Structure 1
Amino acid sequence: MSAAPLTLTVATPLRVWFDAVEIVSLRAEDASGSFGIRPGHADCVTLLAPSVVRWTCTDGTTRYCAVDGGVLLVSRGVRISIACREAISGDSLESLEAGVRSRHAEEDDAARRARVEQLQLHARAVRQMLRYLRPHPGGGADGPDGPGIGANPR
């Protein structure tokens, strides 16, 4: 008589990647190192390190999921739940690596665009301040509220 298979659920705030998938075993990594889970495992909760979680499906195939840390919960010795901020799944380590590289490139590009937009906003703000502080003919730097810095009060 064989043990009941494990069920795996992996979720992020935006998506449920896997929902009650039947698996035979799972390998993950926390602060203490790599560990494995099989049916009948003791109930536990652990904080996952940013790493690759891998599992063997009931048909013998191996699947992979890169996680950006997260929480792994084993309940009743057969249910595994992983909650993480970000996840990328793959059928092979090569496809997973390509997915992770692509995600990192997208994040780098988004950060670069945000820095450019921030610099543009800063430059506009400086130009606007200079426009109000620039001396006008006849002395003074008249701003929107009348005479400005260095204006002659007469």
Structure 2
Amino acid sequence: MRLLITDPVAIAVDAGDVVSLRAEDASGGFGVLAGHADFLTVLSISVVSWRHADGRAGYCAVRGGILTVSGGSDVSIATREAHVGDDLDQLETVVLAGYRAHIESERMERTASARLRMQAIRHMIEALDGAPKAIDL
């Protein structure tokens, strides 16, 4: 199988000799072998692992993404961020923890932004309530 993992700025993995792949979506972990049915899923923050024809293992931490299997021989992953590494433990602890911390930071920023918008709307309503009313003649 051919495996292609891309993020917005680079091709992280382009391997043509992959015999098996493991990934994770919201329903849990799953595997892909040659001849797999066409498939589309949204990946969780996780480490994708695969095995080359010569037995070597490959690992890539992904910050979510879309995985597609087409024609039973092409697996493509488009992700926001990808880190390829040889040390599975390091990818799982350091990189995934960083991804999760980044997501939490984004969540807090969105919450703060929503609070500011609501505060601005309240001030506009208060200002409009205190404005002189038009008189109907």
2:21 paired with 1:26 = yes
**1:91 Cα deviation after fit:** 1.3
> Aligned ranges for residues 80-95 of structure 1 at < 5 Å?
80-95=75-90
Deviations 1:28-81 (A, max 9, x none): 011111100000000011000111100001110111111010000000000000
Asked if the contact 1:63–1:92 (Cα under 8 Å) also holds between the matched residues in 2, the reply is no
2:40 paired with 1:45 = yes
Q: Name the TM-score, length of structure 2 as normaliser.
A: 0.67
**1:25 Cα deviation after fit:** 0.1
The letter of the residue matching 1:104 is: G
**1:22 Cα deviation after fit:** 1.7
| Aligned counterpart, 2:60 | 65
Structure 1: tracts of 5 or more residues without a match: 1-5, 112-154
Separation in structure 1 between the aligned mates of residue 57 and residue 15 of structure 2, nearest angstrom: 16
Of 47, 69, 72, which aligns to 1:74? 69
Deviations 1:83-137 (A, max 9, x none): 0000111112134247617x939x87xx8xxxxxxxxxxxxxxxxxxxxxxxxxx
More helix by share: 2
Separation in structure 1 between the aligned mates of residue 11 and residue 63 of structure 2, nearest angstrom: 15
Give the count of matched residue pairs.
102
Structure 2: tracts of 5 or more residues without a match: 106-137
Separation in structure 2 between the aligned mates of residue 96 and residue 21 of structure 1, nearest angstrom: 23
**1:7 Cα deviation after fit:** 0.6
2:51 paired with 1:56 = yes
More strand by share: 2
Fraction of identical pairs, as percent = 49
The letter of the residue matching 1:57 is: H
2:31 paired with 1:36 = yes
Superposed structure 1 runs of 4+ greater than 4 Å apart = none
Separation in structure 2 between the aligned mates of residue 20 and residue 51 of structure 1, nearest angstrom: 19
